[in-house]
Amino acid sequence: MGKARVLVKRRKSVRNIRKITRTMELIATARFKKAMDRATEAAAYTKKINEIVADLSSADLTFTHPLLKQPAETKHVTLLLLTSNRGLCGGYNGGLLRTALARIREIQKEGLELQLEVSGKRGLNAMKFEQIPVDFKYTQFEDKPGFDEVNEIATRLVGDFIEGRTQRVEIVYQKFESAARQAPAIETLLPIGDLATDAGGSASGVDYEFLPSAEEILEELVPAAFKARFFKCFLDAAVGEQIARRVAMKAATENAGEMIRDISMEYNRARQTQITSELAEIIGGAAALE
Amino acid sequence: MIAATQLRLVLVTPEKTLLDVPVKSLQFPLFDGQIGVLPGRTPMVGRLGIGALQVVSESGSQTYFIDGGFAQIKGSIVTLLTNKALPLDQIDAAAAEKDLAKAMAVLPKTDSEFSEKELEIERARKQIGMRRWMN
């Protein structure tokens, strides 16, 4: 009877785990939908910014702004890594960390100064393990990053860049390509290579009145475009995390189901064997009495 | 040509599109003072200031606090891009007072700190002012 008891116990614990992973999957699905809605809503802002950029470029204006200018030489690089606060999301953090560590090694090999900023407990723990010092730590970003919080970081980065404390700002995050495809990506945020990369709107040919002037609008517009892009990275990361968790938990639930089936089968066999042997004993005993 | 009679306001923040409604007229702060827009306005791109956005629609008028950004007027559509937009009744005067006191206490040393302080003060004062005006 020993073996059958053990199997029953195990099956029970696997069932409990399946309950948990299924719940987590459902929660991740709900959060993913919300995060996705936020990302779509935020896209309107980026689109409009691009449209105004296109309008400005039709105003016959050379784009010069400190944020657009490639520094003469790069000595100091700021790398921002966005990971999640919680685990149980499959290869999400692993992929990001692999990409980030490779990039950190590369920067160190080139002999550049590195300022590392990490968001998310998972990334912070990994950096502690790798013994890489982290200059700025953030753990306040969950699945709903707010613009105000992100804006603070963006403002500091812009200040650092303009005052020459850093010559390049890069970000490692989970880039959202489609609901079925996200991949860790490294992007250079500053200097801004091309203002209207997303090709939001082509010049509309409308003759605008610029208040106060096209130059002064541009001066404000460039940081705004950077901030919008920066915010989008955070939103993408939040969406990516939820998708990764949903996929991981779906697989876990399926595996648990499979395991329960296997264990049940084994348990039934063990029980059957036991019954057979008991019967054999009884028959054997009865035969001996005759 | 028949005069344009339609006007549509789209108010966008980085987080979401707050408003997308037909309006009769609206007023908002540009970098140097309030501007009023009626249907048929010439296309314009402008820098927003800090202050009150007043929307007059069929159902009445609404007031929002907006914090910088850009305005684009194209045809009958007015798009306002702003970092922050708050309906009048959500303005927290007490928090604004606190921000004002905090901003006043800062001793700026560089140009950027100085302009930051001025901005903070303006932001807080405008919010307090709008709140008072409501009461």
Distance from CA of B93 to the nearest CA of A (A): 19
List the domain boundaries for chain B.
8-88, 92-134
- For A236, the domain range is 31-245
One-character DSSP codes across A140-177: ---SS--HHHHHHHHHHHHHHHHTTS-SEEEEEEEEEE
Residues 56-85 of B with CB under 8 A from A: 68-70, 72, 74-75, 79, 81, 83-84
Cα separation, A7 vs A244, whole angstroms? 32
Q: What percent of chain A has pLDDT over 70?
A: 93
Sign of the alpha-carbon torsion through A79, A120, A231, B88: negative
3-state secondary structure at position B34: strand
**pLDDT winner (highest mean) among A248-252, B14-18, B65-69:** A248-252
Nearest CA in chain A to B31: A212
Report pLDDT for A24.
94
* ipTM here: 0.82
Q: Given an 8 Å threshold on Cβ–Cβ distance, is B112 in contact with A221?
A: no
**A chain contacts of residue B15, beta-carbon cutoff 8 Å:** 38, 41-42, 45, 146-147
Is-contact B77 B21, C-beta < 8 A? no
Report pLDDT for A196.
57
| Residue A200 scores a pLDDT above 50 | no
| Residue A237 scores a pLDDT above 60 | yes
Cα separation, B46 vs B70, whole angstroms? 6
3-state secondary structure at position A45: helix
Report pLDDT for A257.
96
Residue of A45, A153, A219 to mutate, interface with B, max B Cβ within 10 Å: A45
Confidence band for A198, pLDDT divided at 50, 70 and 90 = very low
Report pLDDT for A199.
45
Report pLDDT for B91.
83
Point out the least confidently predicted range of A190-204, B14-28, B86-100.
A190-204
**A chain contacts of residue B32, beta-carbon cutoff 8 Å:** 212
Report pLDDT for B134.
74
B114 inside 8 A of chain A by CB: no
Nearest beta carbon to residue A208 from set B45, B68, B84: B45
B37 inside 8 A of chain A by CB: no
- pTM for the predicted model, two decimal places: 0.86
CATH number of the domain at A134, please.
3.40.1380.10
Question: What mean pLDDT is predicted for residues B10-28?
Answer: 90
Report pLDDT for B53.
92
A21-50: buried (b, 16+ CB within 10 Å) or exposed (e) per residue? bbebbeebbebbeebbebbebbbbbbebbb
Mean pLDDT score across all residues of chain A: 88
Q: Given an 8 Å threshold on Cβ–Cβ distance, is A217 in contact with B14?
A: no
What is the tally of structural domains in chain A? 1
Question: What mean pLDDT is predicted for residues B68-93?
Answer: 88
Topology, domain B8-88: ATP Synthase; domain 1 (2.60.15)
Q: Given an 8 Å threshold on Cβ–Cβ distance, is B43 in contact with A209?
A: yes
Q: Given an 8 Å threshold on Cβ–Cβ distance, is B83 in contact with A220?
A: no
Question: What mean pLDDT is predicted for residues B41-54?
Answer: 90
